[in-house]
Each structure stands twice: as C-alpha cells, then as structure tokens.
Amino acid sequence: MALLKIRKFPDTVLKEPAKPVENIDGSLNGFLESMAQTMYAAPGVGLAAPQIGIGKRLAVIDVTFKEDPKAKLVLVNPEILHTEGKNRQNEGCLSIPDFREPVTRANKVTVKAQDVNGKWFEETGEELLARALLHETDHLNGKLYISHVSALKRDLMKRKIRKMVKAGEW
C-alpha cells in the first residue's frame, strides 16, 4: 500500500477548511487505510485529510499506536459535541515535524462522526484521545495547533521553519 505524502506547514492546504464528505459508502475504505498506514509510518497518532492535500472532512486517530487493534478511529465529518475540563500537555503535528509545544486543551471531549459506511456514532475521549480529537478536528477547520500557543512562541517557530525551508532542510 502506497504511503501518502504529508504536507508541511506553511502549505496553504493546511489553512483551508475541509469540505463535508457526501455519499459515503465503502469506497473510502482503501483511502482511509492508506491514511492510517501513513500515520503509523510517520509515526503519529492522528492524521487529517488536509495533511495529505485532500480538503475533505476525514481523519484517522490511534492514540494506542496499534497496541489496541480496536483503538483505531476513523472519523468522517466529525463534529465536537461537548468539551469538559482542562489539560496542558506538549503537542506536536506531523505537518510541523520536530516541534512540540505545550497546549491547553479540554480534558474530555465527545465527538459525533460518521464511519466508513456513513453511520453516525459518538465517541468520548479523555486526555490524549481528547487532545487528538480536537487537534484533528482543528485540521478540518484549517487550524493548526500553533494557533493555540503564544504569538511569541509561534513567531519563533515560524522563523526557525523559514530558515529550514531556505536551507532545504524542511
């Protein structure tokens, strides 16, 4: 199975809100499996379609990183229903490799989403799963985690990235 190319900041596709997926049937299966394999190979615990250049509301998450075969989540058209509490932890993103910054997120999150066959379901996660649900949903809204860090830190990161882009190291 071919791995997909992960787009990096500041690729503009990462800033565009993704479009809802319509007419969901099993035909998305292969693509979502490629997304999951790309996530595992990266390695990462979540990947949203805009990160591979596809402006559709699709994401995969596995915060157990294959340890629990049932933990892999496929989210089609996810929406955050409820958030609760606060949790501050380091966060990273496959589109901004090698950087991590503390980000305050809700500690408990409930989303509703459709599965590969279009069936709606709800999922509630805490801590890392809550963070991943918010991080991937942000991606679908054209938002990166660096929008949750201070302007000072964000500018510093952007400056470092610009340097790496120039040096051909990005």
What's the closest the beta carbon of residue 44 comes to Zn ion, in angstroms? 8
Q: Does an H or E element contain 60, and which?
A: strand 58-61
Length, in residues, of the chain: 170
* Residue ranges in 78-137 that form contacts with Zn ion under rule CB under 5 A: 93
Determine which one of 16, 126, 127, 136 is catalytic: 136
Beta carbons within 10 angstroms of residue 12's beta carbon: 8
What's the closest the beta carbon of residue 92 comes to Zn ion, in angstroms? 8
Parallel, antiparallel or unpaired: strands 108-114 and 101-105? unpaired
Question: What backbone torsions phi and psi does residue 140 show, to the nearest 5 degrees?
Answer: -70, -20
CB nearer to Zn ion: pick between 39 and 76: 39
CB nearer to Zn ion: pick between 97 and 118: 97
91 is catalytic: no
Active site residues: 136
Binding site for Zn ion (CB under 5 A): 93
